[in-house]
Amino acid sequence: MTLKGKTALVTGAGRGMGLAFSRELASRGATVFMCDVDGGTVAAAAAELVEQGLTVAAATVDVSSEADVRTVVARAVRETGRIDIVVSNAGIHPLKGIDEIDVAEWDQVLAVNVRGCFLLCRAVLPHMRSQKYGRIINIASEAGKNGGTICAPHYAASKGAILAFTRNLARAVGADGITVNAIAPGRIATAMAAQVSAEENQVYIDKSSVKRLGDPTDVANAVAFLADEKSGFITGETLNVNGGTLMD
């Protein structure tokens, strides 16, 4: 699979899965705009990929800000003339129970995890429609399907919303040559998994079919598959990448 000549935009790209997505898409030939609210982290990550010969650029973006999202989309189109692939990955996960969550925190999680996805998709659609081509990939979670095992209620709710939004948008834009799919990772070895104890992670591993946590590259390979031109007859789907902890 090659993505040569394609422009991709990845949010939450400074570390973890977002960095893995950026590396994978760029290694397949795409020009990748790496977006993250932490400007220093994403700039350092992008510089590392540039040193490896990959074509990437860093952008400081708060995905819950309409102005930030419109600015980075306009920049990508201005600098490359197109936008082909969007990976909506940015998300936050304060690990709290319902009795510990105030209204402000609930709203913040939904603003980043759900509104950010909406703003990004809405901003890129005019460009993808004019091209009659696009690949939108929304990163959800198995928590959006089963409520999660250790995750907080606002996080689980936000990821369930992403799954419904993905299906709705797929129906709306399919005739324009745009596919919209979601990926529901299980527990991946990132900073989020490190929020819980090794013992908690071992319980998860014991329940999995492949007996390990996921690696960010496992999810990146799924992203690359859905980003490819050859995946054009797949839309409105959620691809589980969880080692067999949830099968549906």
Is 155 part of the annotated catalytic residue set? yes
Edge-to-edge strands of the sheet including 178-185?
A: 56-60, 31-36, 7-11, 85-88, 134-139, 178-185, 238-241
Residue tagged active-site, from 21, 133, 155, 204: 155
Q: What angle do CA 61, 20, 83 make, to 5 degrees?
A: 55
Is 3 within 8 Å of 227 (Cβ atoms)?
yes
Amino acid (one-letter) located at 108: Q
Q: Where are the alpha helices (DSSP H) in 97-178?
A: 103-110, 116-131, 143-146, 153-173
Which H or E element spans position 138?
Answer: strand 134-139
What residues are labeled active site? Answer: 155
